Amino acid sequence: MNSAEGKFIVVSNAEPYKHEKEEDGEPVCKEVEGGLTTAMNPQMKDTGGTWIAFGRGEKDFEVTDPDGIIKVPDFPGMPEEDQYTLKRLNFSDSQYRNFYRGYANRILWPIFHSFPTKADLRKEYTYWKEGYLPTNKEYARAVIQAYEPGDTVWIHDYHLALVPRLIRNELPEAKIGLFWHIPWPPWESFGKIPHREEILKGLAAADLVGLHLEEYARNLLSCAEKVGAELDYSSERFQLESEETQVGAYPLGVDYRFFNGTDTGDEEANIRDKYNCESLILGVDRQDYTKGIPERLRAFKKFIKDNPELRKEVALIQRTPPSRTGIKEYQVEKSEINKQVSEFNGKFGTHDWTPIQLFWKGVPQRDLIAEYRAADIGLVTPGLDGMNLVAKEFVAANEKPKVLILSEFAGSSRQLEEALLVNPYDPAQVAEAIKEALEMPEEEKQERWRRLRRKVRTEDLPTWAEDFLADLEDARQLHSMTRFTFPESEPERGVS
């Protein structure tokens, strides 16, 4: 995309850069870690445009203009051509709490990851009325303000399901795509949400809704059918009231060239020296109960118990940047992980060997790549994950053959079939896979790695974006021809 075709407007909850207080009190620009930033940042740096997101850094609004606008990244010496516009939105504490900690992460996140017992459905109406609906409206207003004819609006994720419809009401001809980064569950889970119909109506107004996998796309279509949408399964389209949308699978890839090509100097060797172990196993996960960290620790414990001869030869490095720290379920999980690790290290560790090294802290991307390279085994075992980029980054970062152990419930397992695929809830199987990884014959390791690398290289981030944008263009053209032939919609319940 280039400016001649109109600009890109990316819309998400998380911002790509925040401003925090330096030791001297001055604001400093920091990249925000997470799947979305990793996915969209290279694209935005290449093509420019406007990114609209919530400003969460403590100094965020000290550095923007009065409209919340700033050019990012504003690292010292950053050339202007590598920057793009970030528009930060600000919400009252209580609205944001109801939106983010409430509706997005105590209703949608658990339900869409099939953890209904972690959802707080009793508060659904409050979270909706006080948080999700008004916040989606403010996002839509910001898009409408930034929009010029010819622009491409690319909305991200479950926080913003209503935004396509809210924009469409004002801009009938806008090109609107939405990518859904988490799984789409079957009706038995999705159908539990009281505002299920409004969510689907919101999405129906996008020209294209992308998900990582075909099975998620099929689940979305069948949920739409349950609320009365007309469906065309073969072309993956549904029509709900006056809106029609295309649904499709676009498995997100990583920026292979970046992960493969980043020079990490001596860092890899330094890390290996520090742990002084024959083999390093690495887990990297934003802290979340979907990532299967307690189950992983149980599996590692079983491995250590079952293989006393291998003790001291292996260590597990678990890097876990905290997230959603204000939510009870996350606090409970954090205590559980801390308890497991201290009991484990207390029982098995010796003066010169700590079996599990746990870090509640993110590191800059270059250091993360060095950790990927220092590790022999990537242990990626989420209970359920839309895609999981860590698995792909581990492959992309390592030219030297390694072994990837991957949950069959991570979306990425559909592509990365040459990994050792495991059921994360079966500690015996995961423990067995660790042993198999350590003992894998060199030839087999190389062959598996070669195939994995080829997939991650060819099914990469630019390919994903190109595929999505090409289909979005086609879908828009189709809808611009058919949109007004549908029956009039009923009056919207509060979403206008």
The piece of 29-37, 46-54, 85-93, 264-272 that touches ligand GDG (CB under 6 A) is 29-37
Among 363, 421, 440, 478, binds ligand GDG (CB under 6 A): 363
Is residue 384 near ligand GDG by the rule CB under 6 A?
no
| Closer residue to ligand GDG (CB): 35 or 355 | 35
Number of neighbouring beta carbons within 10 Å of residue 207: 28
First and final C-alpha spacing in the chain: 31
Is residue 33 near ligand GDG by the rule CB under 6 A?
yes
User: Footprint of ligand GDG on residues 391-410 (CB under 6 A)?
Assistant: 393
Is residue 38 near ligand GDG by the rule CB under 6 A?
yes
The piece of 96-104, 356-364, 430-438, 486-494 that touches ligand GDG (CB under 6 A) is 356-364
The piece of 40-48, 125-133, 346-354, 359-367 that touches ligand GDG (CB under 6 A) is 359-367
Among 129, 192, 286, 302, binds ligand GDG (CB under 6 A): 286
User: Footprint of ligand GDG on residues 242-271 (CB under 6 A)?
Assistant: 252
Is residue 383 near ligand GDG by the rule CB under 6 A?
no
User: Between helices 461-482 and 35-47, what is the axis angle to 10°?
Assistant: 80
Is residue 433 near ligand GDG by the rule CB under 6 A?
no
The piece of 22-30, 143-151, 301-309, 382-390 that touches ligand GDG (CB under 6 A) is 382-390
Q: Which two tokens stand for residue 427?
A: 């500690």
Pairing of strands 230-232, 237-240: antiparallel
Contact 304, 311 (CB under 8 A): yes
Least Cβ distance, residue 265 to ligand GDG (angstroms): 17
| Closer residue to ligand GDG (CB): 245 or 412 | 412
Among 29, 205, 368, 461, binds ligand GDG (CB under 6 A): 368
Least Cβ distance, residue 2 to ligand GDG (angstroms): 25
| Closer residue to ligand GDG (CB): 225 or 267 | 267
Number of neighbouring beta carbons within 10 Å of residue 103: 30
Render the burial of 9-22: b for 16+ CB within 10 Å, e for the rest.
bbbbbbbbbbbeee
The piece of 87-95, 333-341, 379-387, 475-483 that touches ligand GDG (CB under 6 A) is 379-387
Is residue 46 near ligand GDG by the rule CB under 6 A?
no
Among 181, 301, 324, 455, binds ligand GDG (CB under 6 A): 181
Is residue 386 near ligand GDG by the rule CB under 6 A?
yes
Q: Which positions touch ligand GDG (CB under 6 A)? A: 33-36, 38-39, 181-182, 252, 284, 286, 319, 321, 362-365, 368, 385-390, 393
